[in-house]
Structures are given as C-alpha cells and as structure tokens.
C-alpha cells in the first residue's frame, strides 16, 4: 500500500506542470533558466521548464501529501526532488542537443521517481525492493498517462 501511495503522489507531482500549462496557457510561464545558456551555448533546461511548473509541483506535493498519509514535509521533499530529477533530465537532454519536451525513454522517467524515493528511503523505511517497484511502476504509468493526456489534448506530444 505504501508503494501505491508513493506512485500516485509521484504521478500527481509529474502531472501538475502539464495541467497548469493547459489551464494557464502562457500566463506565468517564465522559463526557469530565464534564457541562460551553459558553456556549450545551449539552454540550461529549455523553455518547457518554468518557474510556474516547479513551484506548483512542489506546492501540490506538499499540500497533497497528507491526503496520502504522509507529512507535509515528506511531500515537500518528494516534490522538490522529483522536480530536481526532471531538471536533471532536461539538463542532460539539452547537452545532447535535444529539443525541449523531446522524449528519451528512461531518462524522462527514472530520475524524477528515483531521486524522491532515495531521499525518503530512511524516513519512510523504504527498502531497495520497494524503490525498484515504484520506479518501474512510475516508468510504465508515466508512459500510459502521457498517452492519455495527449489524447485529451492536455499534453502536446505523446510519449
């Protein structure tokens, strides 16, 4: 049951920026990297990683964690580290010369599920098996949810 709650919270955190973009359009969508470039003259994260998405995802995790039986502090850690994983993925994709919102199987799913689980391993008493189960379940669920959000015209691209 703990694994299912973590999976649902991670999926919610991952979906909030996408739904916010659909609901709010271009309002408050300042890129997190504000156009800065890395040494390779490519954007740090790209235009799809916004301050709005980051703040809303972390706030949603913090506020919704108690609904899943976790403290707000665990929600804050999960939201923050999930977004760190997402930003790490975007940073790597920019270094590879890939466009914002492009998909790299595994890179788009694993960091944003694995980092929060590792960060909460001790306080939640997670073992390696639980972490592996939730990470694999997130990987599969993220692909299914992405396809559904695309069909509903909430997501721009299916992956």
* Residue 146: per-residue pLDDT: 86
* Residue 99: per-residue pLDDT: 82
Whole-model pTM: value is 0.93
* Residue 154: per-residue pLDDT: 81
159 burial level (CB within 10 Å; 0-12, 13-18, 19+): middle
The dihedral over CA atoms of 23, 97, 38, 19, expressed in degrees to the nearest 10, equals: 10
pLDDT averaged over consecutive 10-residue blocks of the chain (159 residues)? 97 93 88 93 92 97 98 98 96 91 87 97 97 97 88 79
Whole-number Å distance between alpha carbons of 125 and 115: 15
């Amino acid at each position: 049951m703990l694994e299912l709650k973590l999976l649902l919270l991670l999926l919610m955190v991952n979906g909030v920026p996408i739904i916010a973009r659909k609901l709010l359009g271009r309002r408050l969508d300042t890129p997190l990297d504000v156009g800065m470039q890395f040494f390779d003259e490519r954007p740090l994260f790209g235009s799809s990683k916004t301050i709005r998405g980051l703040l809303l995802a972390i706030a949603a995790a913090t506020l919704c964690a108690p609904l899943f039986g976790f403290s707000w502090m665990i929600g804050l850690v999960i939201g923050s580290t999930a977004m760190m994983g997402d930003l790490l993925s975007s940073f790597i994709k920019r270094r590879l010369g890939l466009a914002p919102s492009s998909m790299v199987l595994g890179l788009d799913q694993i960091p944003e599920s694995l980092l929060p689980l590792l960060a909460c391993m001790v306080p939640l008493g997670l073992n390696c098996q639980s972490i592996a189960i939730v990470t694999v379940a997130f990987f599969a669920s993220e692909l299914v949810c992405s396809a559904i959000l695309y069909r509903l015209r909430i997501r721009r691209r299916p992956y």
